[in-house]
């Protein structure tokens, strides 16, 4: 009988979904007959765009995560309200998913980083695999001084995450602990070569490509792409924003376009984006100089910052820099950095680890 494997994926940003897709891709390459079931409310289109193999998408909210006001600003009061509604998990709340996975002959549950999957695996008597570079108790601890009501949820998570049968820590790790395996940052593989991307976008090889992937950047593009950047037509900008009256050297591409994000990063000469796991992993894998923007209060930011500097992956650009001409100097420095050799992707190491235990 064909085995199936369930992935319980946090919908906090796209980083957890991207890391899960990297693992699933590697699993397909080793065991193409494996049936994959994804439980998440991260958007289905993201998984469809990322994965070539067959999978079934189950739109379950498997995690509270951290509710955001914007991609740079957390909403802790709203997060507390949701935590109060959802936690603690109990046999009644997980019963429907337990029943569904029992019918699917599920051989294991991979959690990135939704801890409800750990409890469901225990109910089914199958192994659970926790993949993380942070857990929610560690993240929430960064806000507990200002919001002491978080402590009960931190304590609950602190007892829940260690119950995973197998623990995988992926760099950059926020809190090193007992782990069955440690891996380097993993990312989705590109589908097209840099030359194919350039040809499809009609970008000559003499032009440099900069991917400017900042969600709240409409105003920034209208202001900062307007004069000095539009005059430098040797640089082609690729951005997710779609404002009107763009200069001729700015190509707007929505995240749901036909252009795959890892393909764009691999083809780029520089990347400017918020610091996050999946973007860091892609910059790390493809050796692209990374102008990273940190979230001021998010606890992971300090760890990402240190990792990026230690591995010489790029340089910090502040949100304030983006609204002044100073960031053009940062851009010059990024474009002067050479692209580094491509790194080995540990996704296959992770896939082999999982398959050996189901």
Q: What is the CATH number of the domain that holds 317?
A: 3.40.50.2000
pLDDT tier, 216 (very low <50, low <70, confident <90, very high otherwise): low
Residues 172 and 143 in one domain: yes
- In this predicted model, which residue has the larger pLDDT, 341 or 157? 157
| Token pair 């992993």 in the structure block, residue | 281
Residues 176 and 279 in one domain: no
d(CA 168, CA 19): 12
pLDDT tier, 223 (very low <50, low <70, confident <90, very high otherwise): very low
Residues 264 and 320 in one domain: yes
Residues 225 and 176 in one domain: no
Residues 300 and 319 in one domain: yes
pLDDT tens-digit series, residues 309-332: 999 999 999 888 877 777 788 888
Q: Which domain holds residue 212?
A: 194-336
Tokens coding 54? 């067959």
Residues 161 and 271 in one domain: no
The pTM of the full predicted model, rounded to 2 decimals, is: 0.93
Residue 287 lies in a domain: yes
Least trusted range by pLDDT, from 87-91, 147-151, 155-159? 87-91
What is the average pLDDT across 33-42? 96
- In this predicted model, which residue has the larger pLDDT, 242 or 86? 86
- The reported pLDDT for the residue numbered 171 is 97
- The reported pLDDT for the residue numbered 237 is 85
Are residues 131 and 109 in contact, defined by beta-carbon separation less than 8 angstroms? no
- The reported pLDDT for the residue numbered 220 is 45
Residue 213 lies in a domain: yes
Residue 189 lies in a domain: no
pLDDT tens-digit series, residues 224-270: 445 445 556 788 888 876 666 677 788 888 878 889 999 999 999 99
- Write down the mean pLDDT value for the chain: 91
Residue 341 lies in a domain: no
Residue 247 lies in a domain: yes
Residue 239 lies in a domain: yes
In the chain, the number of structural domains is: 2
- The reported pLDDT for the residue numbered 232 is 67
- The reported pLDDT for the residue numbered 243 is 60
Strand pairing report for 73-74 and 68-70: antiparallel
């Amino acid at each position: 009988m064909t085995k199936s494997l369930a992935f319980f994926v946090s919908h906090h940003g796209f980083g957890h979904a991207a890391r899960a897709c990297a693992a699933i891709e590697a699993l397909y390459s080793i065991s193409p007959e494996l049936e994959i079931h994804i439980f998440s409310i991260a958007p289905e289109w993201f998984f469809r765009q990322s994965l070539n193999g067959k999978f079934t998408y189950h739109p379950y909210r498997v995690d509270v995560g951290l509710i955001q006001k914007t991609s740079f600003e957390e909403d802790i009061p709203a997060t507390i309200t949701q935590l109060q509604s959802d936690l603690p998990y109990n046999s009644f709340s997980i019963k429907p998913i337990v029943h569904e996975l029992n019918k699917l002959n599920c051989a294991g549950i991979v959690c990135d980083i939704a801890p409800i999957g750990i409890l469901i695996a225990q109910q089914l008597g199958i192994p659970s695999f926790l993949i993380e570079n942070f857990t929610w108790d560690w993240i929430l601890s960064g806000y507990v001084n200002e919001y002491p009501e978080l402590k009960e949820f931190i304590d609950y998570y602190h007892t829940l995450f260690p119950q995973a049968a197998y623990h995988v820590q992926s760099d950059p790790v926020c809190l090193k602990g007992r782990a069955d395996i440690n891996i380097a940052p993993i990312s989705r593989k590109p589908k097209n070569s840099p030359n194919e991307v350039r040809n499809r976008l009609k970008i000559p090889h003499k032009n440099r490509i900069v991917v400017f992937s900042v969600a709240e950047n409409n105003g920034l593009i209208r202001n900062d792409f307007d004069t000095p950047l539009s005059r430098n037509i040797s640089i082609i900008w690729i951005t997710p924003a779609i404002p009107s009256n763009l200069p001729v050297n700015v190509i707007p591409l929505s995240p749901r376009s036909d252009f795959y994000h890892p393909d764009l990063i691999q083809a780029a000469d520089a990347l400017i984006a918020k610091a996050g796991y999946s973007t860091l992993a892609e910059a790390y894998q493809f050796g692209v100089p990374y102008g990273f923007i940190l979230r001021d209060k998010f606890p992971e930011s300090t760890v990402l910052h240190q990792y990026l500097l230690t591995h010489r992956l790029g340089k910090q650009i502040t949100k304030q820099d983006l609204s002044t001409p100073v960031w053009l100097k940062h851009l010059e420095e990024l474009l002067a950095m050479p692209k580094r050799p491509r790194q080995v992707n540990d996704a296959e190491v992770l896939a082999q680890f999982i398959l050996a235990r189901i």
